[in-house]
Amino acid sequence: MDAGPRIKSEVTMAGAHGAEGRLRSPRGEAATSQTPLVRALPAISILIAAVLAAYANAFTATWQFDDFAAILGNPAAQSLAGWWHALPGIRPLLKLSYAFTHETGGGVIAVHATNIAIHALNACLLWALLRRWLLTLAPSLEHPDLAALLAALLFAVHPAATEAVTYASGRSISLAATFCLGALLADDVSRAHPSDRTLAWSGPAAFALALAVRETALVIPVIPLLRAWATGRSLRAEFRRLRRYALVAAIAAVAAALTPGYQRFFGASLDARSLVEQAMGQLLAHGYLLTQSLLGVCNIDPDLRVPAHVSPALIASALLLAVLIATMFSSRRHRPWLAFAIGWYFVLLAPANSLLPRLDLVNDRHLYLAVAGPALALSCVLVGACARPAGRLLACASALVLCTAAAFATAQRNTDYRSEVALWQATVRDSPDKARAWLNLGYAYRLAGDTPQAAAAYRCALALEPDNEQAAINLGLAAPEDAGPMQCPARQAVREAASPSRTEKRRG
């Protein structure tokens, strides 16, 4: 779909009232006497309903994995007094949100309800942003409001978001996204009122709050630059507009450098692996995100490891990234919406999946806000096809099937969070060769009172990693008289279940 030539200047198009002012209304129609909120209610209602439908079974999810250390065992997340005494500390606003929930008497259901509400708010904020931005990113698109709504819907029901919504500890991602989207929306609104100093500082203020939730929000000021680049506007003028954001980022960097928690955090990251290892690992990580997580395959602990040498998988990942980057640059002139969508994806993934090492090469939750980029590109294609009579039925049906399938996959993934045992059973099914997955499954069984199954899972972990000290200690506690060989029949059963055709061949 060709969205038309780039817009050279928002000022010449729309004057001092912004790109939305005189080009056309966000619905492509004449302005009505209704207030903006009333006109927005149908779309907001659709997005909230979609989130509630996809996450209806997430309210009863249990505490999982990092929740015990990050929330239940963390005094700063259990009370306002504990939070205050822990200052200065890492991610203070995130911990304050947990402490407030606990202080008001909320338990695990309240935590998940808050996460779901945050996600619904993010879907609405994303829609509000995209309906403004598409007027310049895709000026020839006949129904920009519909494209914005479809993109926000795909974001709302995408199963990769479960790790940031259903997983209680994933709130760091979703809450930071709230302030990031708020900052971008405030920045866009302030462009229509350049003399309003309160509006001018509202974006940087939201940016500061995002950084207080999660440090990865640092890349958000790049998004206005990306949008200016994609639509052909002056980057020099955009840099001048972002001086307030640069000031906030500088203050945050100094504060982080002086905070012991951040010193340990970044020190551990830098010691995780070398720059070459990180580059090779991240090539595989991006390949995994594009071919697994983005397509709805969820795994809380993917079995992805730093490659020891160049492999076909590494080459394929590198080629896939090269094609995407080439597409981003080549589509800038005639399809700025596509260039922006690809750029958004990479910018939002950059903090967790670039040069700064982390313990894990990849996690689904880091795709949370980045998925809005592919969702935008897909919505522009489908809505553009709807404008042509020949493709209207197919495009509408495709949009309906995609949203329904994504919502169903999200609801299915939520069932894995009903218990620790269920989550780690799903994980060893998808990562049967990863010792940590078996170790955590064994621990979940032990907490559930199933000692024989716990011992079997610990033996699997030791069969995969004979020098895994934690697995050996846990096995000694679960089965102190166990002196047999470290075998893992359960792992073989998982493999056979995943490959029924090969199993039938061996049995024949």
Euclidean distance between CA atoms 363 and 319, whole angstroms:
21
Q: Do 62 and 423 meet the contact criterion of CB atoms below 8 Å apart?
A: no
pLDDT at 1: 43
Alpha helices in 350-468 (DSSP H): 372-386, 389-415, 420-430, 435-447, 451-464
pLDDT at residue 505 is higher than 90? no
How confident is residue 495, by pLDDT bands cut at 50, 70 and 90? low
Q: Do 59 and 175 meet the contact criterion of CB atoms below 8 Å apart?
A: no
Q: Higher model confidence: residue 505 or residue 160?
A: 160
pLDDT at 321: 95
Q: Do 344 and 226 meet the contact criterion of CB atoms below 8 Å apart?
A: yes
Residue of 249, 258, 303 lying closest to 281 (CA atoms): 303
pLDDT at residue 440 is higher than 70? yes
pLDDT at 118: 97
Show the domains of the chain with their CATH numbers.
35-64+107-416 (no CATH), 419-507 (1.25.40.10)
pLDDT at 508: 33
pLDDT at residue 276 is higher than 70? yes
Residue of 157, 132, 180 lying closest to 404 (CA atoms): 157
CB atoms within 10 A of CB 28: 14
Q: How far is CA 78 from the centre of its chain?
A: 25
How confident is residue 270, by pLDDT bands cut at 50, 70 and 90? confident
pLDDT at 365: 93
The two three-digit tokens of residue 264, written as one number: 């340990």
Euclidean distance between CA atoms 108 and 446, whole angstroms:
21
The two three-digit tokens of residue 344, written as one number: 């958004």
Widest pairwise Cα distance in the chain: 80
Residue of 416, 421, 483, 430 lying closest to 457 (CA atoms): 421
Q: What is the model's pTM? A: 0.88
Euclidean distance between CA atoms 455 and 431, whole angstroms:
19
pLDDT at 39: 86
pLDDT at residue 428 is higher than 70? yes
pLDDT tens readout for residues 326-341? 999 999 999 999 999 9
pLDDT at 151: 97
Q: Higher model confidence: residue 267 or residue 229?
A: 229
pLDDT at residue 53 is higher than 80? yes
Q: Alpha carbon of 426 to those of 163, 252, 298, 454, 505: distances in Å?
A: 14, 39, 10, 16, 25
Q: Do 54 and 156 meet the contact criterion of CB atoms below 8 Å apart?
A: yes
pLDDT tens readout for residues 462-479? 999 999 999 999 998 888
Q: Alpha carbon of 465 to those of 73, 271, 416, 488, 495: distances in Å?
A: 28, 22, 26, 12, 18
pLDDT at 2: 45
pLDDT at 486: 62
pLDDT tens readout for residues 4-49? 444 433 333 333 334 443 344 444 444 455 777 788 899 999 999 9
Euclidean distance between CA atoms 47 and 28, whole angstroms:
21
Euclidean distance between CA atoms 164 and 147, whole angstroms:
24
pLDDT at 16: 36
pLDDT at residue 502 is higher than 80? no
Q: Do 241 and 227 meet the contact criterion of CB atoms below 8 Å apart?
A: no
pLDDT at residue 69 is higher than 60? yes
Q: Higher model confidence: residue 222 or residue 14?
A: 222
Q: Higher model confidence: residue 273 or residue 402?
A: 402
pLDDT at residue 421 is higher than 90? yes
Q: What does the mean pLDDT of the chain come to?
A: 87
Q: Name which of 19-23, 151-155, 166-170, 387-391 the model is least confident about.
A: 19-23
Euclidean distance between CA atoms 284 and 362, whole angstroms:
9
Q: Higher model confidence: residue 287 or residue 11?
A: 287
The two three-digit tokens of residue 182, written as one number: 């708020």
pLDDT at 91: 93
pLDDT tens readout for residues 332-366? 999 999 999 999 999 999 998 888 888 888 999 99
pLDDT at residue 101 is higher than 70? yes
pLDDT tens readout for residues 247-256? 999 999 999 8
Euclidean distance between CA atoms 64 and 183, whole angstroms:
31
Q: Higher model confidence: residue 269 or residue 212?
A: 212
How confident is residue 238, by pLDDT bands cut at 50, 70 and 90? very high
pLDDT at residue 498 is higher than 60? no
